[in-house]
Amino acid sequence: MTTMTRKQFLQGSLGLSGMLMFGTPGAVTRGFAQGKDLIKVPFASTHAGSIRLMTDTVKRHKLDEKHGMLWEPANLQINALADAIILKSRPVGCLASPVVAIANGRGHKLRMFEALTINHSSLLVRADSPYKELKELKGKKIAAVTRTSGTYQSFYTVARMLGLDVEKECQVLFAAPEAGRHFLESGEVEAFNIYEPFPTNMIAAGKTRELVRVRDTWKELVGKDMLLLGVVAYEEWIKENPEVAKKIAIVTREAVDLIHSNPAQTIQDNKASQSLESDAAMKLAEKRLIEMYTPTPLNDALIDSALLEIEKGAEFGLLDVKASRDFWTVLKK
């Protein structure tokens, strides 16, 4: 594994070092749709995955317009998501709790004000591999996405809690999701840590199986759901736009409720954006992709779980930041 210092980890991978701030996060502009005067909301979304499914649901059902807004999702690559919010090209969007913690450690006062998903990453192995427990991968090659991603940080933390330091006891290869999948299926690595919908597609194809589902292992260990993604903005933006922030939280929750209300239709509507590869994958997605959305708004139990994850990450040397409940804020109705 290529080594890096904590300073490089905090600065380089998130694009937070020496970069010019641009945009005005407090600016709210207005637009029109179907004769309505609406507040424009540039929203940092992703080109696929759980955030894209939520923002597509918002737009498909015009939930934003229902609440006087016009969301403008930017469907970004996952590695550009944090910078879009931190560098203020988008005032609001979705990030993972560990990424919010890293940003705060660099002096960027981001606040998560609504929950979106429980952790939805897995450690996959080939279907015919002999591995039955995580510890059996000691000394083996594991592929993973970027070190600063919520996906990897959550997996690393759970692995340490299970007694395996994957960075010292395994060989970690950081790679793009598509490359990591190829490495596992071709036998170049023995395991692959990745987020949905990759596990659903790969399990449905029959070539791989799940050795660790991070959310399930975390709940077995600590008894709480493992919050991953939520809606995030700068603290100053939330204070300057409290009513808009409340409406964004409401729209997010309404989208999640719609996603839960009709799993089969949700998957059918989002087959293309989720890159679901087969009928078997679509059927599996009706459970796996739907259940990753937290059925409750951001609350103390989810915050407690996320706070514990950050504390564990710091204890294990993965995060160089002091955890604080200030990273999350439940908006008053």
| CATH number of the domain residue 169 falls in | 3.40.190.10
Helix (H) or strand (E) holding 171: strand 171-174
Last residue of a domain, one of 200, 222, 244: 222
Both 159 and 280 in one domain: the answer is no
User: How far is the C-alpha of 239 from the C-alpha of 237, rounded, in Å?
Assistant: 5
Within-domain flag for 1: no
Both 80 and 198 in one domain: the answer is no
Both 43 and 113 in one domain: the answer is yes
**How far is residue 238 from each of residues 104, 164, 255, 329, 331, measured CA to CA in Å?**
16, 40, 21, 10, 9
Both 112 and 234 in one domain: the answer is yes
With b meaning 16 or more CB within 10 Å and e meaning fewer, what string describes 72-106? bbbebebeebbbbbbbbbbbbbbbbbbbbbbbbbe
Both 113 and 11 in one domain: the answer is yes
In this prediction, residue 33 carries a pLDDT of 58
Q: Which domain does 81 fall in, by range?
A: 6-118+226-327
In this prediction, residue 27 carries a pLDDT of 57
- Least Cα distance to 128 among 208, 186, 194, 183 occurs for 208
Give the three-state DSSP class for 288: helix
Both 72 and 205 in one domain: the answer is no
User: How far is the C-alpha of 132 from the C-alpha of 71, rounded, in Å?
Assistant: 45
Both 179 and 87 in one domain: the answer is no
The order of strands in the sheet holding 191-195 is 171-174, 141-144, 191-195, 121-126, 208-213
| Structure letter (DSSP) for residue 20 | P
Last residue of a domain, one of 174, 199, 222: 222
- Least Cα distance to 131 among 142, 146, 119, 147 occurs for 142
Within-domain flag for 333: no
In one-letter notation, the amino acid at residue 135 is K
What tens digit of pLDDT does each residue of 224-277 get?
A: 999 999 999 999 999 999 999 999 999 999 999 999 999 999 999 999 999 999
Within-domain flag for 147: yes
Within-domain flag for 332: no
- The count of domains in the chain is 2
Within-domain flag for 57: yes
In this prediction, residue 13 carries a pLDDT of 43
Cβ burial, residue 218 (10 Å; 0-12/13-18/19+)? buried
Within-domain flag for 269: yes
Both 125 and 114 in one domain: the answer is no
226, 205 in Cβ contact below 8 A?
Answer: no
40, 72 in Cβ contact below 8 A?
Answer: yes
Both 197 and 232 in one domain: the answer is no
pLDDT in tens, the chain (333 residues): 443 333 343 344 454 433 323 334 445 566 655 557 899 999 999 988 999 999 999 999 999 999 999 999 999 987 788 999 999 999 999 999 999 999 999 999 999 999 999 999 999 999 999 999 999 999 999 999 988 888 999 999 999 999 999 999 999 999 999 999 999 999 999 999 999 999 999 999 999 999 999 999 999 999 999 999 999 999 999 999 999 999 999 999 999 999 999 999 999 999 999 999 999 999 999 999 999 999 999 999 999 999 999 999 999 998 889 889 999 999 987
Residue 41: other Cβ atoms inside 10 A: 24
- Least Cα distance to 304 among 331, 328, 333 occurs for 328
User: How far is the C-alpha of 174 from the C-alpha of 155, rounded, in Å?
Assistant: 13
Last residue of a domain, one of 177, 196, 222: 222
Both 78 and 107 in one domain: the answer is yes
182, 263 in Cβ contact below 8 A?
Answer: no
- Least Cα distance to 191 among 129, 125, 127, 121 occurs for 125
Both 44 and 110 in one domain: the answer is yes
- Least Cα distance to 206 among 269, 280, 267 occurs for 280
β-strand pairing of 229-234 with 110-115 = antiparallel
Both 128 and 114 in one domain: the answer is no
* pTM of the entire predicted model: 0.87
In this prediction, residue 195 carries a pLDDT of 94
In this prediction, residue 34 carries a pLDDT of 58
In order, the DSSP letters of 209-233 are EEEEEHHHHHHHHHSS--B-EEEEE
Instruction: 319-322: list long-range contacts, CB under 8 Å, 24+ apart.
Output: 319/98, 319/101, 319/102, 319/105, 319/153, 320/6, 320/9, 320/10, 320/105, 321/101, 321/102, 321/104, 321/105, 322/105
